[in-house]
Amino acid sequence: MAWVSDQIDAVKSIQIRQLVHQAVSLGMIVTSALIIWKALMCFTGSESPVVVVLSGSMEPGFKRGDILFLHMSKDPIYAGEIVVFNVDGREIPIVHRVIKVHERKDTGEVDVLTKGDNNYGDDRLLYAHGQQWLQRHHIMGRAVGTLRIGAGPL
């Protein structure tokens, strides 16, 4: 009888060891992912260095599900660049093209107007109420690379 209880105790200790091993492994994976994300944030200068296109407003250039890599620098923003921006009052970032750039002579600050390639008009209806232009603090980054996951319909 003692042999059976010894065997049961051995099995329990193995299960506990495996459970602890799996928990530590999971913790290391999560910690590694967070470290990589924070490193990308520092390297790219963007609060969100990777985003996913969620709508068809930029088709045919970008399709739903495409992954964009962002970079944010102090360089001037030009018309024609693809930017990702947040609008006050909305949590989901928007991926659109800059169509106009307006530099304020008194402060040197730059305001931009955006538009989705597949949209009829500019984005002023998407901006916060009464907002006509985006300021630099709204822009999360510029698209510098893309990864298309699926080929999509033929």
For residue 135, is pLDDT > 70?
Answer: yes
Same domain, 6 and 65: no
The span from the CA of 17 to the CA of 153, in Å, is 49
Identify residue 100 by its one-letter amino acid code: K
Query: For residue 131, what pLDDT is reported?
Result: 82
Question: Domain for residue 56, yes or no?
Answer: yes
Same domain, 66 and 136: yes
- Which whole number is the average pLDDT over 38-46? 82
Question: Domain for residue 137, yes or no?
Answer: yes
Same domain, 72 and 107: yes
Query: For residue 27, what pLDDT is reported?
Result: 92
Mean pLDDT of the chain: 83
- Which whole number is the average pLDDT over 19-41? 88
Same domain, 71 and 100: yes
For residue 2, is pLDDT > 60?
Answer: yes
Query: For residue 154, what pLDDT is reported?
Result: 43
For residue 17, is pLDDT > 60?
Answer: yes
Residue 69, classified by CB atoms within 10 Å of its CB into exposed (0-12), middle (13-18) or buried (19+), is middle
Longest alpha-carbon distance in the chain: 91
The per-residue pLDDT for range 90-129, each reduced to its tens digit, is 888 889 999 988 888 777 788 899 998 888 888 888 888 8
Question: Domain for residue 153, yes or no?
Answer: no
Domain count within the chain: 2
Structure tokens that stand for 119 in this block: 């949209």
The per-residue pLDDT for range 23-32, each reduced to its tens digit, is 899 999 999 9
Same domain, 35 and 88: no
What are the backbone angles phi and psi of residue 76, rounded to the nearest 5°?
A: -60, 150
Judge whether 78 and 112 are in contact, CB under 8 Å: no
Query: For residue 30, what pLDDT is reported?
Result: 94
Same domain, 40 and 54: no
Give the SS3 label for residue 134.
strand
Give the SS3 label for residue 144.
strand
Range of the domain at 56: 50-147
Instruction: Tell me the catalytic residues.
Output: 57, 96, 123
Same domain, 123 and 90: yes
**Cα torsion 80, 82, 87, 90: sign:** positive
